[in-house]
């Protein structure tokens, strides 16, 4: 069936909470509805690598009892959720998409898994990840077309939410691994400000660039989960968490949005371009000023930075992956060519090379911060294409890399379509202003949805 962004999506988890409190529904009933979809669809989609349905049912029963008593633990109490399989869980193996870790059990929860359990969330299973969230792809398929990729490393999380198996799943992003799969699989995807959510217990690749993010049916669910994780699991040590209200931020109209091109615009086809232009026209007609970067020197300089973001992320990642990948290599392990190429660069890099990339990243961040008084944010495509045909063709990260490189919050909304497939609209905010980005996104969603 062709994807239609105007077709109502799943109402999400928070929408169910009043019914839980009224006794008209329960977290256990919601879980069973999710399990029914998993049983019906996951044999073909393969979003999960591990399920713990017994543990999930036990957690859902405990949440149901708390709601019946009018005493839920947190905003995520009873939420069915999946975790990308590079995140440690005490009750399930963490296999990182690699034969090196086949069947590996650490015996502990990562801080975000522990926080979810303390809040009463229902961890249903581990979702598929590419090899160490970077290399060989999984067998996971796009829920809207089984012949197409679900996207890059957070593929299982995106496919599970896109297929309505779960209202929320956790992913991680080094370059585009939350946002792009969310675009391809027709859902909300959010990458918060760098450091807002703790990364301990997550297999390292490039610690200074990795972000914990969320795939969600709704903006409200994404806000609830990410803010809870930032508060309960904590931010990265020494960093600020997500500030903002307990409830999702109220919709707020952005006044001026810079249009993002990046080199990705050159590879977008006519249908993709037309869908995006139509979205911009509707924003403009509603009174949002769309600012062309070419007419403002400071913004034009940012476009130059956007073009170098992939290089910067790759350079930093190559240096930071030395541990543990030099150890894997010494033990005789081999990897997919994407990892092998990065590893070859890791061997030849110098500390001066690493510093050069870090210096660019810092200067880019400063230039982006400097335009905060002239625009309210940035609008662009999340990916320059819909999900490509073929599981090995995972698409291009070029549109998402700038926000990741700068460490600023970004999100994608499933408000566009091309070639009968989902196409995400990306909004980028400013450092530490996650709540403001959500408020703008809520207004844009109300307008375009």
Catalytic amino acids? 84, 153, 177
Could you tell me which residues come within 8 angstroms of residue 58 by beta carbon, excluding any fewer than 6 positions away? none
DSSP letters spanning 147-167: TB---STTHHHHHHHHTTS-S
Residue in the structure block whose two tokens are 């970004």: 410
Sign, CA dihedral 315-317-321-325, equals negative
393 and 363 in contact (C-beta within 8 Å)?
no
Distance CA 117, CA 119 (A): 5
Could you tell me which residues come within 8 angstroms of residue 28 by beta carbon, excluding any fewer than 6 positions away? 57, 60, 61, 63, 64
Distance CA 290, CA 288 (A): 6
Distance CA 14, CA 72 (A): 13
What phi and psi values does residue 122 have, to the nearest 5 degrees? Answer: -110, 100
| CA count, 13 A, side-chain hemisphere, 287 | 6
Closest CA to 96 of 84, 108, 112: 84
Residues β-bridged to residue 81: 123, 168
Residue in the structure block whose two tokens are 């806000």: 223
Q: How many helices (H) and strands (E) does the chain have?
A: 15, 11
Q: Which letter, b or e, does each residue of 162-173 get, where b requires 16 or more Cβ atoms within 10 Å of its Cβ?
A: bbbbbbbbbbbb
Distance CA 132, CA 329 (A): 14
Please provide the size of the chain in residues. Answer: 449
Distance CA 150, CA 161 (A): 11
Distance CA 257, CA 444 (A): 11
- Element holding 223 (H helix, E strand): helix 219-228
């Amino acid at each position: 069936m062709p994807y239609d962004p105007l077709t109502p999506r799943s109402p999400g988890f928070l929408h169910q909470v009043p019914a839980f409190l009224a006794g008209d529904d329960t977290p256990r009933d919601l879980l069973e509805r999710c399990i029914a979809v998993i049983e019906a669809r996951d044999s073909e989609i393969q979003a999960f690598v591990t399920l713990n349905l017994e543990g999930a049912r036990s957690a859902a029963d405990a949440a149901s009892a708390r709601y019946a008593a009018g005493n839920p633990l947190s905003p995520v109490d009873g939420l069915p959720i999946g975790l990308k399989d590079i995140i440690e869980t005490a009750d399930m193996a963490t296999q990182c998409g690699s034969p090196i870790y086949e069947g590996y059990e650490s015996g502990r929860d990562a801080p975000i898994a522990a926080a979810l359990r303390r809040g009463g969330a229902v961890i249903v299973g581990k979702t598929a990840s590419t090899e160490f969230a970077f290399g060989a792809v999984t067998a996971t398929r796009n829920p809207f077309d089984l012949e197409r990729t679900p996207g890059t490393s957070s593929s299982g999380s995106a496919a599970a939410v896109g297929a309505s198996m779960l209202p929320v799943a956790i992913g991680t992003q080094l370059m585009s691994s939350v946002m792009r799969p969310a675009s391809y699989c027709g859902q909300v995807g959010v990458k918060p400000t760098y450091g807002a959510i703790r990364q301990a217990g997550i297999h390292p690749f490039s610690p200074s660039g990795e972000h914990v993010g969320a795939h969600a049916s709704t903006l409200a669910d994404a806000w609830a989960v990410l803010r809870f994780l930032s508060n309960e699991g904590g931010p990265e040590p020494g960093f600020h968490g997500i500030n903002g209200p307990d409830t999702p931020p109220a919709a707020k109209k952005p006044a001026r949005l810079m249009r993002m091109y990046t080199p990705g615009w050159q590879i977008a086809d006519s249908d993709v371009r037309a869908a995006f232009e139509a979205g911009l026209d509707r924003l403009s007609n509603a009174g949002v000023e769309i600012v062309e970067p070419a007419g403002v020197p400071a913004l034009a300089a940012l476009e130059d930075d956007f073009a170098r973001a992939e290089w910067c992320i790759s350079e930093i990642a190559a240096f930071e992956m030395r541990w543990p990948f030099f150890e894997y290599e010494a033990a005789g392990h081999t990897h997919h060519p994407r990892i092998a190429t990065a590893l070859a660069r890791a061997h030849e890099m110098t500390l001066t090379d690493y510093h050069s990339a870090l210096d660019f990243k810092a200067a880019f961040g400063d230039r982006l911060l400097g335009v905060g008084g002239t625009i309210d944010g940035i609008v662009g495509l999340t990916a320059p294409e819909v999900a490509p045909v073929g599981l090995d063709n995972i698409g291009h990260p070029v549109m998402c890399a700038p926000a990741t490189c700068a460490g600023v919050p970004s999100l994608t909304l499933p408000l566009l379509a091309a070639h009968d497939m989902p196409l995400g609209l990306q909004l980028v905010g400013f450092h530490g202003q996650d709540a403001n980005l959500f408020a703008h996104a809520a207004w844009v969603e109300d307008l375009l949805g």
